A and B are shown apart, each in its own frame.
Chain A
Amino acid sequence: MNQHLRYLSSRVLAGAMSRREFMGRAAALGLTAATASTFLSSAARAAGPRKGGTIKVGIQGGGSSDSLDPALAANATATSVSRLWGEPLVELDPQGGLWPRLAESFEASADARVWTFKIRSGVNFSNGKTMTPEDVLATMERHSGEDTKSGALGIMRGIKAMSVDGQNFIVELESPNADLPYLLTDYHLLIQPNGGKDDPAAGIGTGPYVLKTVEPGVRFVGEKNPDYWDDSLGHADTIEFIVINDDTARVAAVQSGQVDMINRVPPRTAGLVDRAPNINVRTTAGPGHYVFIMHCDTAPFDNMDLRMALKYGINRQEMVEKILFGYGSVGNDTPINSSYPLYTELEQRSYDPDKAKFHLEKSGFDGTVLLRTSDNSFPGAPDAAALFQQSCGAAGINVEIKREPNDGYWSEVWNKKPFVTSYWGGRPTQDSMFSTAYLSTADWNDTRFKNEQFDQLLYAARAELDEAKRKQMYADMSLLVHNEGGLICPMFNQFIDAVGEGVEGWVDAKTGFELNNFYAPMKMWVAA
């Protein structure tokens, strides 16, 4: 039977048989539609990518106010468009690990204080100039200068000096950091001619596509860069992004075949969308998580027992079912999950009204806790807050919910008020996640978690090149946040994309952002 199927799928790939006919014959052989579909797509992958054609992407997250300057990229559209025309030194491999792009290779000194990146030679920018290590240096300077607006500034701050030596780009750090290449996968850090100092929003880089049409918030068209150095990326002649911010319109666009793939299918309807005959829903479990955050230094949350009571008062399983509709996994009051390279599982904390009551009594707190939330703090946040209120109520904890407007939530409420709902997109490594939001001195320490032991462990782990020891340190740090921190993390969300049958070559990712870390349009190809 297998042989016959293989024969049939080769006929489909050769264009001699329609997909529909294949599914019919496969059903006659006793295969379910899902199995037949899987068989066909693995056959397509084995046959290799087809060149040519147009891939259209319906994408959420862009506005007409977006700039092409990668330093200002802050949404899915800006990020995925910049992937078309530009490249970083190193990229995150969606299968885990690192994927060298403009840096051919890299190595650290024994103390992880000096990093040397060997820059790929013979690569041209789309304006015809050759990309040099000087351009790399200029790019990093632009993102780390005193007056930069770059979203990557936080990452660049630990750099003491940068220099060029022949084809090498050398970074000297203030303090050792074994994770520097991971940090340089940041999506802002695309190499531009002279670092983009002359014209940051020109959209000129070394990427697989050259932008032909730029209409912010509406449409972006890239045409294949004929000189692109890497044959394994960029199969379609043209990639077109259409910004469709409305959820229903985006799903309708992939259903009617107007676009080949979309990002951010609402979890509420993802199950229904997957049942549609010509669409596959693809999920990526990443480090992104939804949080309830308490300021550890503000009354009443400075009371560790009250924090513990609230941690026991949340029903994580219920949230995954009702807020994420199953598209996610339970959190464990630490920002780290299995998508991090050095993850250690902690004992799972679960909903326990009795323990919550015990800690509440121990804390001596008998008032009402005010929780602020808004629609844009994460999808379904007000509903999640209501669930939390109910599960806490069963444990005798009074939670009052205040609905804040979306406008100004990030500037007026988050990181200002003591108890709010929010989200984190996650970071590529434990070190960067912890240093971004849990180090005492971090700007975005949105739980005001100040723990000396934690800070010391963080610095020690950075300099530690022995993986087993580092892993233990990160486990200890996770445990500290889990027990003493102000973070209540009920769930890790998944990215949900939908892909039409007009394109092939999807590879499931273990980590990264949506649409295969935004590389899906370039890694996939137009179906026969």
Chain B
Amino acid sequence: MGPALRLVAQRLALGLLLLLMVSVVIFAGTMILPGDVAQSILGQSATPEALANLREELGVNDPALTRYFEWLFGVFRGDLGTALTNNQDILTSIVGRMQNTLFLAFWAALISVPLAIFLGLLAVRYRNRWPDKLISAVTLTSISIPEFLIGYVLMYFIGVQLGWAPTVATVYDGMSLGEKLHAIALPVAVLTLVVLAHMMRMTRAAILNVMQSAYVETAELKGLTMFKIIWRHAFPNSIAPIVNVVMLNLAYLVVGVVVIEVVFTYPGMGQYLVDHVAKRDIPVVQACGLIFAAVYIGLNMVADIVSILSNPRLRHPK
């Protein structure tokens, strides 16, 4: 087994171990949440009898350890349980929500990642001249404004005043792809603005770093064009940090878009999680937490593996 393969296997094992530890943390965390699921379901107008009846039925009176292992073994079998509040199977509900979240994240990534890398390359090409400064100024401004505010501003001007895109991004089965893309136009635009700067700045910094090296100078002396040097020689060598930051932002697009989902009424995982946290629906919160953790760990693992593989010393051992 090559050292690269061994490293990858190691990462995978570590990732799984980490996930197991996260499951303990999630479970413990949800146990110490204040409030009471029965009270949250029935609201202010609940009688003590109704509360006691509901608590009994929900089985929230069992000891915590028993419930943890029951839950964990359920997860291994692919059974995330049923929601306490509406008795729906969590897995079924989550799959639909997850698809929506991934749909939004996919289109946002499809636009933002190439755009960010292209803008980064452009900024390096025109370093310290007006294109570089303009790109940095615009992207840094958009990352500095809170995302919900960007959302509201776009909603007002593009949605209400111009009427180009819908302000409510609710998507559902039975919509054609075109209709869905039209519906999510505004949230995709906001997400792109939010993640652009981070990736663009990292691309710029990483490539500039490589540009200082001797072999770039050699390439320059050979008479290669600036863009060719950046694209053929500098970019491949700075791939590791760029992939890292891209993965971090992809993870954000999946697990961190709660605010955007709420602002644009997009039926994704974030909204689903928030609704259930508010109702103290512990099994759903645990399932969402676990999935978010898995996505986060998974994407970071991909970043690790890519940077390992992009390192020639590991790919070609002596």
Query: Which residues does A use to contact B, with CB under 8 Å?
Result: 58, 63-68, 72, 74-75, 147-151, 153-154, 201, 213, 215-219, 242-246, 248-249, 252-253, 255-256, 258-259, 405, 407-408, 410-412, 414, 422, 443-444
B152 contacts the other chain (CB 8 A): yes
Contact with A along B153-166 (1 / 0, CB 8 A): 00110011001001
Whether A412 contacts B34 by the Cβ 8 Å rule is yes
Q: Bin the interface of chain B by size.
A: 35 or more
Contacts of A256 in B (CB 8 A): 159-160, 163, 166-167
Whether B271 contacts A217 by the Cβ 8 Å rule is yes
Query: Which residues does B use to contact A, with CB under 8 Å?
Result: 33-36, 39-50, 53-54, 57, 83, 85-88, 93, 97, 152, 155-156, 159-160, 163, 166-168, 170, 172, 262-265, 267, 271-272, 275-276, 278-279, 281, 284
Q: With A and B bound together, what is the CA distance between A411 and B317 in angstroms?
A: 63
If A252-B156, A253-B167, A410-B39 touch, whether A64 touches B47 (CB-CB below 8 Å) is no
Whether A443 contacts B48 by the Cβ 8 Å rule is yes
Q: With A and B bound together, what is the CA distance between A407 and B49 in angstroms?
A: 22
Whether A219 contacts B45 by the Cβ 8 Å rule is no
Q: In this complex, what residue of B is CB-closest to A244?
A: B265
Which residue of B44, B88, B93, B163 contacts A410 across the interface (Cβ within 8 Å)?
B44
Of listed B85, B88, B275, residue having the most chain A CB within 10 A: B275
Whether A242 contacts B53 by the Cβ 8 Å rule is no
Contacts of A258 in B (CB 8 A): 166-168
Q: With A and B bound together, what is the CA distance between A74 and B44 in angstroms?
A: 9
Contacts of A74 in B (CB 8 A): 41-43, 45
Contacts of A244 in B (CB 8 A): 168, 265
Q: In this complex, what residue of A is CB-closest to B261?
A: A246
For the complex of A and B, the 4 pairs showing the least CB-CB separation, nearest first, are A63-B275, A408-B35, A65-B85, A74-B43
Contacts of B278 in A (CB 8 A): 63, 65, 407
Contacts of B265 in A (CB 8 A): 242-246, 249, 253
Known pairs A64-B276, A201-B87, A256-B159. 6 more at Cβ < 8 A?
Answer: A64-B267, A64-B275, A201-B86, A217-B267, A246-B263, A407-B33
Whether A407 contacts B35 by the Cβ 8 Å rule is yes
Contacts of A243 in B (CB 8 A): 265
Whether B43 contacts A151 by the Cβ 8 Å rule is yes
Whether A249 contacts B276 by the Cβ 8 Å rule is no
Q: With A and B bound together, what is the CA distance between A244 and B168 in angstroms?
A: 8
- Can you list 17 A-B contacts (CB < 8 A)? A64-B97, A64-B275, A65-B41, A72-B42, A75-B43, A149-B53, A150-B50, A153-B47, A153-B50, A245-B265, A249-B262, A249-B263, A252-B159, A256-B163, A405-B34, A408-B34, A411-B36
Q: In this complex, what residue of B is CB-closest to A63?
A: B275
Whether B262 contacts A213 by the Cβ 8 Å rule is no
Contacts of A412 in B (CB 8 A): 34-35
Whether A149 contacts B50 by the Cβ 8 Å rule is yes
Whether A248 contacts B50 by the Cβ 8 Å rule is no
If A150-B50, A256-B167 touch, whether A248 touches B41 (CB-CB below 8 Å) is no
Query: How many A-B contacts are there with CB distance less than 8 Å?
Result: 134
Contacts of A405 in B (CB 8 A): 34
Whether B267 contacts A218 by the Cβ 8 Å rule is yes
Of listed A63, A74, A213, A243, residue having the most chain B CB within 10 A: A63
Q: With A and B bound together, what is the CA distance between A305 and B306 in angstroms?
A: 74
Whether B43 contacts A248 by the Cβ 8 Å rule is no
Contacts of A246 in B (CB 8 A): 262-263, 265
Q: In this complex, what residue of A is CB-closest to B97?
A: A64
Q: With A and B bound together, what is the CA distance between A258 and B159 in angstroms?
A: 10
Contacts of A58 in B (CB 8 A): 168
Whether B271 contacts A64 by the Cβ 8 Å rule is yes
Of listed A148, A249, A408, residue having the most chain B CB within 10 A: A249
Whether B271 contacts A444 by the Cβ 8 Å rule is no
Whether B47 contacts A253 by the Cβ 8 Å rule is no
Whether B271 contacts A249 by the Cβ 8 Å rule is no
B161 to A: closest C-beta gap in Å: 9
Q: With A and B bound together, what is the CA distance between A145 and B87 in angstroms?
A: 20
Q: In this complex, what residue of B is CB-closest to A58?
A: B168
A467 to B: closest C-beta gap in Å: 28
Q: In this complex, what residue of B is CB-closest to A436?
A: B45
Whether B170 contacts A218 by the Cβ 8 Å rule is yes
Of listed B34, B44, B83, B156, residue having the most chain A CB within 10 A: B44
Which residue of B33, B264, B272 contacts A249 across the interface (Cβ within 8 Å)?
B264
Q: With A and B bound together, what is the CA distance between A68 and B85 in angstroms?
A: 11
Whether B168 contacts A242 by the Cβ 8 Å rule is yes
Whether B267 contacts A151 by the Cβ 8 Å rule is no
Whether A414 contacts B35 by the Cβ 8 Å rule is no
Whether A252 contacts B167 by the Cβ 8 Å rule is yes
Contacts of B49 in A (CB 8 A): 153
Contacts of B271 in A (CB 8 A): 64, 217
Q: In this complex, what residue of B is CB-closest to A56?
A: B168
Contacts of B46 in A (CB 8 A): 151
Contacts of B155 in A (CB 8 A): 248-249, 252
Which residue of B57, B87, B263, B267 contacts A67 across the interface (Cβ within 8 Å)?
B87
Q: With A and B bound together, what is the CA distance between A66 and B40 in angstroms?
A: 11
Q: With A and B bound together, what is the CA distance between A151 and B47 in angstroms?
A: 8
Which residue of A219, A255, A414 contacts B160 across the interface (Cβ within 8 Å)?
A255
Q: With A and B bound together, what is the CA distance between A248 and B148 in angstroms?
A: 10
B164 to A: closest C-beta gap in Å: 10
Whether B168 contacts A218 by the Cβ 8 Å rule is no
Which residue of B163, B170, B276 contacts A65 across the interface (Cβ within 8 Å)?
B276
Whether A149 contacts B34 by the Cβ 8 Å rule is no
Contacts of A218 in B (CB 8 A): 170, 172, 267
Q: With A and B bound together, what is the CA distance between A422 and B45 in angstroms?
A: 12
Q: With A and B bound together, what is the CA distance between A117 and B54 in angstroms?
A: 31
Whether A249 contacts B34 by the Cβ 8 Å rule is no
Q: With A and B bound together, what is the CA distance between A249 and B42 in angstroms?
A: 27
B90 to A: closest C-beta gap in Å: 11
Of listed A58, A148, A244, A256, residue having the most chain B CB within 10 A: A256
Q: With A and B bound together, what is the CA distance between A320 and B244 in angstroms?
A: 54
Contacts of A253 in B (CB 8 A): 167-168, 265
Contacts of B85 in A (CB 8 A): 65-67
Whether A65 contacts B281 by the Cβ 8 Å rule is yes
Whether A64 contacts B168 by the Cβ 8 Å rule is no
Q: In this complex, what residue of A is CB-closest to B152?
A: A248
Q: With A and B bound together, what is the CA distance between A255 and B167 in angstroms?
A: 10
Whether B272 contacts A217 by the Cβ 8 Å rule is yes
Contacts of A72 in B (CB 8 A): 41-42
Which residue of B47, B97, B160 contacts A443 across the interface (Cβ within 8 Å)?
B47
Q: In this complex, what residue of A is CB-closest to B265?
A: A244
Contacts of A75 in B (CB 8 A): 43
